[in-house]
Structure 1
Amino acid sequence: MKAITMTGKGQVALTEVPKPEQVSAGHLLIKMSAMGINPGDKFLISGNAPAGMFTQSRYDIAGVSGAGQVTAIGEGVPEKYLGKLVTVYRSLSDGNISGTWSEYAHLPYLQCAILPDDADPADHAGSLVNIITAYAAMQQFLKVGHQGVIITAGNSDTGKAMLGFALEAKLPVLSIVRNESSKAELEKLGAKHILVQGTEQFAQELMTIATALKTTAVFDGVGGELLSQLIPVLPAGATVYAYGFLGGPAPVSFHTGMLTKGITIKGFSNFKTATVQDPQQLAQALEAISQVIHLSFFKFNAGKQFSLEEIEAALSYTAADGSKAVLVIG
């Protein structure tokens, strides 16, 4: 079968590799249709990822996300997966894996969420990584007892997924976006409290709304300058869960007096949560995600589509609206 394989640090190539024939216990054989290119995919290809961050793949096939149809199941896999369209994220559990940028993928079923039969694979070509991150964070927020959440990368795929879970949990939300068009998009999704960063009133409005909503959890995908602006106006006892750094290399700075308010900043990774580490909780999470994944909050921001033969162009693709390249197999 055709597959995109990693041929060296930062290098990939379209090659022919053996198609998986035997399905291992607990695994699925998936005929892939669409595979989104997320930052995590590029990080994997770069060769700079820490050891163990990504599960190893047969024949060094690249790709950690995608969507396709299950054609066979292994022993111990629930029958409900057979023949279904699924979205996948291959780093949720260990197993006998072949990567997603290929005509067929062999993956543990605990790396897959079932999609509606009429779903467009491109809409979920890279969505599960974002959804499971938001889901795992929400479970942690609820367990700790947070009363509201600030979402900094409000219009990102992960930010929209968090909005969906927060609204479902009836947790007050304050979303922060970069521009008015992003604000309008979130309003269509039901967000009621949205701030556009960079305005003269931003800090004052943030403090007023954060105090009123008691937003003691900050789901931060930006960091840098924006986080430096947030910290002084957060409610006492707030915790910043930093999962991304869209703000680039700008350092975070704050007056040490803020420590008297009990503000905590910690890194967040879905890999380290009980949701992902405990197989039973992971199964429950994937089932819960399958029940809501048809909603607009949870779709992948798919941009231009490319064939496997166009992998170099796909990796170079950028779009002003933040949409991402999608590899498709016809």
Structure 2
Amino acid sequence: MTTNGVAGLTTGGAKRGTDADAERNEPGKEAETVRGTAGQPGAVGRDVVTGTVVFDALGGPEVLSVRQLPLRTPAAGEVLVRVEALGVNRAEALFRSGGYYYLPTLPGSRLGYEAAGVVEAVGEEVTRFRAGDAVLTGPGIEMSAQGVYAERVVLPEDSVVRRPAGVDAVAGAASWLAYSTAYGGLLETGGLRPGDVVLITAASSGVGIAALQTAARIGAVPVAVTRTVRKREALFTAGAAHIVVTGEEDTVASVKALTGGLGADLLFDAVGGAGLAGLATALRVDGTVVVYGWLDGTSSVMPMNWPLTVRGYANQALSGSAPGRRRIDAWLASGLRDGTLRPVIAEEFEGLASMPDAHRRLEENRHTGKLVVRLS
């Protein structure tokens, strides 16, 4: 285990283009085909189409393709968003391959729920947005029907949140899901407090880095768990106070040594599976486990080192309510504004046609931070 004296934050990373321009479908019609003024309902021409990523069968990244789909007029309570950047998330890869908690509707399923963009038009009864507003997507999106991997997308008003001032599209596309999950899982569900030691698995993921920064922001002690020493320095830079490399040391023994034999207060786990029971023994008596993912792919084994609280966190339970979205938005905006929350961009890809490459990179598990696809 290694310890960080001062945990800095970082953005930046590699930028990846694609030489597949010749294979791209023609982009959707330009903004002038969308009629709408600030605060007024918008209409879309009958023949307008928009480039959209779809898939017809479960499988690897190769099942993804770009098609031109009709772009309908926003109905009452809906918002039309021109997408500028897309966050690529583990849940989307699971959905594409059939491993998510609900299955896609095939053929012709859409994909994706995290985008940054600009409102182009609104339907009747929309009160919180108007044309020209910079926004993020995320809450309550059913990916088969509403997936946001597209040049333009029509969504319910409640699935759109205002992008914090001063945040560009790439940072925005890397922010909402990661920081809402970290906030909801650690603070609202896990009850993390200043001085608490929190063990964070899958620490190099977008949510993992958001959890490191969220814990540090409130004065807790974030301990990153990673499988390889190669990611150590990047995790220190991202905000970890201590790092446990599972390939080199005994995780439970290292955490016990760090805490004077007491154990960590909270385990924030994205992996689950048979290893959960053993990892939970790194907690103190009456500690808390918050499981928010199942990357292991097998059934989790219930920890038996009681007394212990085990909670499963579903982001929709918090973001699906107006009060929950208000708290998430306040946390995210204030953290981005004061610099304590800064998304780490591992790599940028260009255009919808690069989405299979982005998914391949995601599944290599070699990156630290968030993968983002820019639409220009």
Q: Provide closer, same or farther for how the CA distance between residues 135 and 108 of structure 1 changes in structure 2, counting only shifts above 3 A.
A: farther
CA contact (8 A) 2:204 2:368 kept: no
Measure how far apart 1:158 and its partner are: 0.8
Equivalent runs, 1:97-246 vs 2, <5 Å: 98-116=146-164, 118-137=166-185, 138-142=187-191, 147-200=196-249, 202-210=251-259, 215-224=264-273, 227-246=276-295
TM-score (norm 2): 0.70
Equivalent runs, 1:83-98 vs 2, <5 Å: 83-89=132-138, 91-92=139-140, 98=146
CA contact (8 A) 2:84 2:116 kept: yes
Instruction: Determine the structure 2 residue equivalent to 1:283.
Output: 326
Gaps of 5+ in 1: none
Q: 1:64 aligns with which of 113, 122, 125?
A: 113
Structure having the larger proportion of residues in helix:
1
Instruction: Determine the structure 2 residue equivalent to 1:32.
Output: 83
Measure how far apart 1:140 and its partner are: 1.6
Q: For 2:375, give the aligned amino acid.
A: I
Count of aligned pairs: 318
Instruction: Determine the structure 1 residue equivalent to 2:374.
Output: 328
CA contact (8 A) 1:32 1:69 kept: yes
Q: 1:152-174 deviations in whole A, cap 9, x for unaligned?
A: 22222112212222223223333
Aligned-partner Cα distance in 2 for 1:24–1:292: 33
Q: Larger relative contact order (C-alpha < 8 A, sep ≥ 6)?
A: 2
Q: 1:307 aligns with which of 351, 354, 372?
A: 351
Q: For 1:327, give the aligned amino acid.
A: V
Instruction: Determine the structure 2 residue equivalent to 1:21.
Output: 73
Q: 2:313 aligns with which of 265, 268, 288?
A: 268
Measure how far apart 1:220 and its partner are: 0.8
CA contact (8 A) 1:23 1:29 kept: no
CA contact (8 A) 1:210 1:235 kept: no
TM-score (norm 1): 0.78
Q: Provide closer, same or farther for how the CA distance between residues 171 and 144 of structure 1 changes in structure 2, counting only shifts above 3 A.
A: closer
Gaps of 5+ in 2: 1-49
CA contact (8 A) 1:122 1:300 kept: no
Aligned-partner Cα distance in 2 for 1:33–1:268: 29
CA contact (8 A) 2:228 2:245 kept: yes
CA contact (8 A) 1:172 1:213 kept: no
CA contact (8 A) 2:266 2:283 kept: no
Superposition RMSD on alpha carbons, in Å? Answer: 3.7
CA contact (8 A) 1:125 1:300 kept: no
CA contact (8 A) 2:87 2:173 kept: yes
